[in-house]
Structure 1
Amino acid sequence: MGFSGRWMIWTLCVCSTALENVALKVTMREASLEAVQGDSVVLPCSFFTSSPLSRLNIIWTMAPSSSPENPIQVIVFDHGQAIEDPSLIGRVGFTGIPWSADIVLNDTRVSDAGFYRCMVNNPPETADPGIGELELSVLAPPSLPVCQWDGEIDKGGSVTLSCSVAEGIPTPEIQWEKLSPEEISLPINMEDDLSGYVQIVNVSSQTSGLYRCSATNLLGTENCYVNLSIYSPPDQSSGILQGVLVTLSMSLLLLALLVLLLWLHRTGQDGRWREGEKEEEEECYNEIEYTPTLIKRSFV
């Protein structure tokens, strides 16, 4: 065998060894992805193989962000069939089988966030499957916050306004404001990432009004409201003044009634006096009128 023949055999052996070494290769085109809650997202997984695809096996798993030590199976392709996890039926599927291991995840949820692993095996190429990983983050607007108040609403008391939100990614910023009668931003004390409170001491009538809690992130804002009405007891000085005015009014009324009674009494006496004078005049007149007659009779 000549030199050229030996060279050709050596080249074929090298190429064969190289093909065996790179027979199965998995490539993740993205290391991390973001999706908005409710949208669809494609998780890419490309592979290269030199063997027929009749025994191709693909497994996708996901380790939740909240518990990465407990991965769950998402979808499997085996013996020409795709099998989804029961909790994901209708929401996950392959997009390019058998030439691609890409999957699509529909109607994404916050619980879908985590670390996804794509494992591809195509016997008899290698006993170890090719593996690729990516991280999926699911963004969500703030949920509707819950507003509460606690404390004494009497003048001089103390009131605490609390606000909490169940979810939101990125973490929502929580703010308290007084809207009426004038708009005022209030300093908030955070209990944790999703709840905070405002404490108002020595409350007065000026504390009454409408208060708003806002939870905001880059996807939107949600609000809840509290309407405070502070009870203020009546002022003692104003009560004393009102009592004096009532007493004075009653005194004037009684004085007027007394004057009226005196006037009526005087008027009644004057009337009786005049009637008495009139009767006396009439008696005197009668005596004068009949006297001559008597005198005449006495002379007859």
Structure 2
Amino acid sequence: MRRGPLPPSPLWGSPCRSATSAPAVSLAGAQVTSETKEVPENQPVDIPCSAYRSDWGSPRIEWKFQKGSSLVLFYYAGALTDPYKNRVVFSVTSIHFTTVTREDTGKYICEVVGGDSQIAKSEVNLIVQVPPSKPVAHVPSSATIGRTAVLRCTESDGSPPPTFRWYRDGMLVPTDPKSSLSFRNSSYTLDSTTGELTFNPVSAFDTGDYYCEASNNVGTAQRSDTVRMEASEVNVGGIVAAVVVLLMLLGLIAFGIWFAYSRGYFPLPPKR
């Protein structure tokens, strides 16, 4: 996709507003309409140019594609740009994709300029529907009781972005732990949009086998592998024992160095 400098446009600096089936509004002297379309991946789709006016004679038409911060001009001066030449059919009232992929998700902007400085613009937010892939559950193998533990569920293919659910020992983790007898002794927050399950603080009841599920109403929901998390107290005795062993080791090293010098294994530096 070409991302070089774009030719000037009378609406280049105009702000954009997204809405579903929104009525025409005035924006920097232009008439703007906006709508949303959803289509399954690998299917054809027509994207209308609602800005076109037949009573404007032969207006100049431009099409732009916006995805995030990227803005690409793909119909200009009466011709399609690469790589759309073999994928898109242009007409004054719409563009037709013979097939769409997930990369085509984004905002399509049609700008129409009439001979008497008449300006109109329409926007179509295209969502190419893609079922989620198998998510990945990021679960710590151990968590300390009284501390914070964060479990994350990630998925990179679904469009629209999926929502997430968590399961512990095969039971659905509810949004509110107090709403379930099985989870009322836990303290956590669950964000279904980001897929984060945050225990604050961790309790002994949070030990279990966890997996997450991603769904976006396209295809079937997908589940991650199961990962076990063990919640345990801080092992104070083990920490003390480790410190004692470390101090003994340092003492042995210091004794060994002293003994080596005392036996003349290491020559002393010359006196000045």
TM-score (norm 1): 0.47
Among 172, 175, 186, which residue is 1:185 paired with? 172
- Matched to 2:213, the amino acid is S
Q: Does the aligned pair in 1 maintain the 2:61–2:110 contact within 8 Å?
A: no
Residue 213 of structure 1 is matched in structure 2 by: 212
Q: Does the aligned pair in 2 maintain the 1:164–1:195 contact within 8 Å?
A: yes
- The 2-side partners of 1:132 and 1:155 are apart by 58
Among 100, 103, 126, which residue is 2:95 paired with? 103
Residue 112 of structure 1 is matched in structure 2 by: 105
- The 1-side partners of 2:148 and 2:123 are apart by 51
Among 119, 125, 128, which residue is 1:136 paired with? 125
- The 2-side partners of 1:103 and 1:154 are apart by 57
Q: CA deviation at 1:176?
A: 1.1
Among 27, 33, 36, which residue is 2:36 paired with? 33
Deviations 1:69-103 (A, max 9, x none): x642121353xxx222x243433221x4xxx3421
Q: Does the aligned pair in 2 maintain the 1:119–1:131 contact within 8 Å?
A: yes
Residue 273 of structure 1 is matched in structure 2 by: none
Q: Does the aligned pair in 1 maintain the 2:208–2:228 contact within 8 Å?
A: yes
Residue 201 of structure 1 is matched in structure 2 by: 203
Which SS does the other structure have where 1:150 is aligned?
A: coil
Residue 47 of structure 1 is matched in structure 2 by: 53
Q: CA deviation at 1:148?
A: 2.0
Q: CA deviation at 1:107?
A: 0.8
Q: Does the aligned pair in 1 maintain the 2:35–2:124 contact within 8 Å?
A: yes
Q: Does the aligned pair in 2 maintain the 1:148–1:226 contact within 8 Å?
A: no
More strand by share: 2
- Matched to 2:63, the amino acid is W
- The verdict on how the C-alpha distance between 1:154 and 1:226 changes in structure 2, with shifts beyond 3 A counting, is farther
- The verdict on how the C-alpha distance between 1:102 and 1:27 changes in structure 2, with shifts beyond 3 A counting, is farther
Q: Structure 2 unaligned segments of length 5 or more: list them.
A: 1-29, 175-187, 233-272
TM-score (norm 2): 0.51
More helix by share: 1
Q: CA deviation at 1:167?
A: 5.4
- Matched to 1:104, the amino acid is H
Among 59, 62, 65, which residue is 2:65 paired with? 62
Deviations 1:149-200 (A, max 9, x none): 2142899999754312335444422111134xxx322256346832312546
Q: CA deviation at 1:203?
A: 6.4
- The verdict on how the C-alpha distance between 1:196 and 1:58 changes in structure 2, with shifts beyond 3 A counting, is same
Structure with the bigger RCO (C-alpha within 8 Å, sep 6+) is: 2
Tell me if 1:90 matches 2:86. Answer: yes
Structure with higher Rg: it is 1
